[in-house]
Amino acid sequence: MNNLRVLTAGESHGKAVVVILEGMPAGVPVDPSRVNAELKKRQGGHGRGGRMKIEKDEIEILSGIRFGKTLGSPIAFQIRNLDFVNWERKMAVEGAPPKDYKPITLARPGHADLAGVQKFGHDDIRNVIERSSARETAARTAAGAICKELLRPFGVSWLSHVTNLGSVAVRRRDWTGRASPPKFVRAVDSSPVRCADPSASKKMVAAIDAARRHGDTLGGLYEVVFFNVPPGLGSCMQWDRKLDARLAFGILSIHAQKAVEIGDGFGGAVLPGSKVHDEIFYSRARGFYRRTNRHGGIEGGMSTGEPIVVRGAMKPISTLLKPLRSVDLKTRRATISRYERSDVCALPAAAIVAEGVLAFILADAFLEKFAGDHLGDVQSSVRQFLKRIR
């Protein structure tokens, strides 16, 4: 990224996951309770495994914030792993492995296990599992929540929700409003699968329960929408400055995500242009605007001022109670893969993670366009820009 940078560290069953968020201007109000609320949402959702009953994710800020506002220096924080007490011997930093410890040599299909040991030369898959685990997404959810604190003073709002879980689907929506609809957000937050449609929500819960009974897992689709994002974020000048490319990169950096759609991406690909492109209008009250938003708020690699709509596709969780066929990496003999404590479905959590990841990318693009060392500088730049484009 060009202005913001986030680095994460930590193993799934180590002492903590650690984050450094660099590039945030000074003077941004940060409420840790809002960050912790996002972490709690990430832990929820029907179909989660036993790990979420152990952890109670909360950030412990180490630097970069004083008296509730950012200092302009790197923000460092950690999220402690409460499960570490059960893994202290197996995850010891010093000394030799315990005498009763057995290295993991059965690679699980769909995971980073085989590719990881081949790449790094390990003889114990545990060394790969610990860092490739989706536990890392707690760190980026929290970093994204801090980035939301930068976007909030500019009237930017957001929502995420599940649209398809397994074979259960809800009707797609065309977001044309200027802010996230409160009633819709409440419906999503009250659903055990973060689906606003009560009928579909019940069917999704039943589908997860059925998958659990059969020792299987489920994935699906989610949608993330950001409202009131000013036009001009991103660029058409270089490939790596395009906003849609950066958003797609963000989604695919999340564990188990396999596809991205912006606006009516896949649906629009099979339609004629007359039914795809959004006509442009102008009024003194609104300035330039569109009556439709098939482009998902981005044209030519730049935001247009319409809601930014991004959809992600998550594959089913790779760890199955009914294991798949594999090979023992030590003996080279055919066997079945091992079971590592896992979820049946983590799609509702993935929607929250994606919300945070996209908030980070949009905040980075925001600071690229409206640079400033203090929040007040950024606000002045935004006001001047919005006045100019009217």
Q: Encode pLDDT of 217-266 as tens digits.
A: 999 999 999 999 999 999 999 999 999 999 999 999 999 999 999 999 99
Are 309 and 225 contacting, i.e. CB atoms less than 8 angstroms apart?
yes
CA–CA separation, 336 and 119 (whole Å): 22
The domain tally of the chain equals 1
The answer for residues whose C-beta is within 8 angstroms of residue 93's C-beta and 6 or more apart is none
Task: Judge contact between 309 and 293, C-beta under 8 A.
Answer: yes
Nearest to 7 by CA among 361, 380, 18: 18
Residue range 307-361, pLDDT digits in tens: 999 999 999 998 888 888 999 999 999 998 876 667 899 999 999 999 999 999 9
Confidence tier at 47 by pLDDT (50, 70, 90): confident
Residue-level pLDDT at 174: 78
> Quick check: pTM over 0.75?
yes
Res 341: pLDDT: 66
Half-sphere exposure of 158 (CA within 13 A, CB side): 29
d(CA 356, CA 83): 24
SS3 content of the chain, % helix, strand, coil (to 5): 35, 20, 45
Instruction: Count Cβ atoms within 10 A of the Cβ of residue 232 and give its class: 0-12 exposed, 13-18 middle, 19 or more buried.
Output: middle
Q: What is the pLDDT of residue 78?
A: 98
Torsion on CA atoms 329, 331, 336, 338, rounded to nearest 10: -60
Going by pLDDT thresholds of 50, 70 and 90, the confidence category of residue 390 is confident
The CATH number covering residue 269 comes to: 3.60.150.10
DSSP-derived letter for residue 73 is S
H/E run at residue 376: helix 375-389
Domain extent, residue 379, equals 5-389
Contacts of residue 47, Cβ cutoff 8 Å, sequence gap at least 6: 193, 208, 211, 212, 218, 343, 344, 345, 346, 347, 348
- Residue for token pair 């081949």: 118
Region 143-163: mean pLDDT is 97
Are 226 and 154 within 8 A, CB to CB?
A: no
114 CB-side CA count, 13 A: 12
32-43 helix and 137-151 helix, angle to the nearest 10 degrees: 140
- How far is Cα 49 from Cα 47, in angstroms, rounded to an integer? 7
10-21 in b/e form (b: 16+ CB < 10 A) is: bbbbbebbbbbb
HSE-CB of 242 using CA atoms within 13 angstroms: 13
SS3 of residue 137 by DSSP = helix
